[in-house]
Structure 1
Amino acid sequence: MPEYRKKPVVIDAIQWTGQNADEVLAFTGSAARLESADCHGDGPPYLVAINTLEGRMVAGRDDWIIRGVQGEFYPCKSDIFEATYERVADDERTDSVSEVRGDEAP
């Protein structure tokens, strides 16, 4: 059986902290909106609802929101993000999502 390796692509992402709504909404544009959360205790009063290619998904506090290679957005749990991605230094950004999509890098 053939094996396949995921191609290395640099992605853009932002972490929803519960305190950075303006940044998250600026990053996602019309693909996301804030929704009231059933808040008991110290959680943020809002969740981020994201329209993904698979339908509506929700990002909770500490989840990451990723912009994919086709410009789509989707949430990712923090532990999965940390196991899958590592931060790229500015001078290493050669295969960014923007370059894969063919548009200009931010």
Structure 2
Amino acid sequence: MKKYIKTTPVEAIQVTKDNRKEVREFANGYRINFETSGNSIFTLEGRMRFKYGDYLIKNSTGECYVCDKKIFEKTYREVKK
């Protein structure tokens, strides 16, 4: 079986209660709701829910999507400039 790794860096931001403005700027154009009943972003695939601590990822085409904190931290590492 062949194995593959991602070769294109992605941009990501961790969502916290204190960075809502930054998250909205990062998601540029995507509708985001921060609500007591649960947070969500409306992506090309539909509504995605997220928790504080999760990450929003922007791929090379500018599409945003949600990634659970534990999965993100197992899958990605920071690229040093």
TM-score range, shorter chain: 0.7 to 0.9
Higher helix share: 1
Uncovered stretches (5+) of structure 1, i.e. residues with no partner:
39-45, 91-106
SS, match of residue 25 in structure 1: helix
The Cα offsets for residues 34-58 of structure 1, whole Å up to 9 and x where unpaired, read as 23223xxxxxxx62x2222321102
- Equivalent in the alignment of 1:18: 17
- Equivalent in the alignment of 1:83: 74
In the aligned structure 2, how far is the partner of 1:6 from the partner of 1:21?
Answer: 31
SS, match of residue 34 in structure 2: strand
- Equivalent in the alignment of 2:59: 68
Moved over 4 A (4+): none
The Cα offsets for residues 27-83 of structure 1, whole Å up to 9 and x where unpaired, read as 102213223223xxxxxxx62x22223211022100000001221000101100000
- Shift, 1:3, TM fit: 2.1
TM-score normalized by the length of structure 1: 0.68
SS, match of residue 21 in structure 2: helix
- Structure ID, larger Rg: 1
TM-score normalized by the length of structure 2: 0.86
